[in-house]
Amino acid sequence: MKIGITGGIGSGKTFICQLFKAMTVPVYNADDEAKELMNSDLRIKARLIAEFGEETYKDGKLDRAFLAEQIFSDKAKLELVNSIVHPVVIQAAKDWAEQQKSRYSLKEAALLFESGSYKDLDYTILVTAPLPIRVKRVMERDAVTEEQVMERINKQLSDEEKLKLADFVIINDGTTPLLPQVWTLHQKFLK
């Protein structure tokens, strides 16, 4: 079985994935893989250079700051980058999942619903947390302002929209125990 796990920035989905990993569940991190593929996949590199110029890469490595500057306030350019990168990452995730020998694997992706890749999965898990907690976590983790965090949050689907598409929910509000929620889902997926 292929299970997707997502959540808004600061929801704690990466920490939840670490709990699943501790139970020997293989986890594919789509966001990390996208960063890797943007540096290693020749199709992605060629298209990004064609669209944004040679300065997109320095010494063969993606200039993330340059690309971010190009797409920061231009939704069409952001969608263009996503249309270049997402199909390659989605295929890489499918190939990875096919190689797994466990009863199920997880695909962690911030844009699981936005990219449409959830349609290729058996189930989806949404990790939720109250907005003030998410904002605080990201401010502390990334040393950014509240305004910068809200800009990122506003570019993602809301939890309300994601709830309509999710099969399961893990609440990561700092008070609801996480391990019982993860363990319950783990047992369900093993069956």
Pairing of strands 61-62, 57-58: antiparallel
Q: Which residues pair with 107 in a beta bridge?
A: 4, 28
Q: Report the alpha-carbon distance of residue 37 to residue 64 in Å, rounded.
A: 13
Give, as one character, the DSSP assignment of residue 72.
Answer: T
Helices assigned H by DSSP within 26-113:
30-40, 42-52, 64-71, 75-99
Nearest to 44, CA basis, from 83, 96, 94: 83
Q: Which residues pair with 168 in a beta bridge?
A: 125
- Sole residue written with tokens 């509240």: 146
73 marked ligand binding residue: no
77 marked ligand binding residue: no
11 marked ligand binding residue: yes
CB-CB contact of 178 with 16 (8 Å) = yes
Which amino acid appears at position 141 of this protein?
R
Give, as one character, the DSSP assignment of residue 34.
Answer: H
14 marked ligand binding residue: yes
Give, as one character, the DSSP assignment of residue 113.
Answer: T
From the annotation, which residues make up the binding site for ATP?
A: 10-15
From the annotation, which residues make up the binding site?
A: 10-15
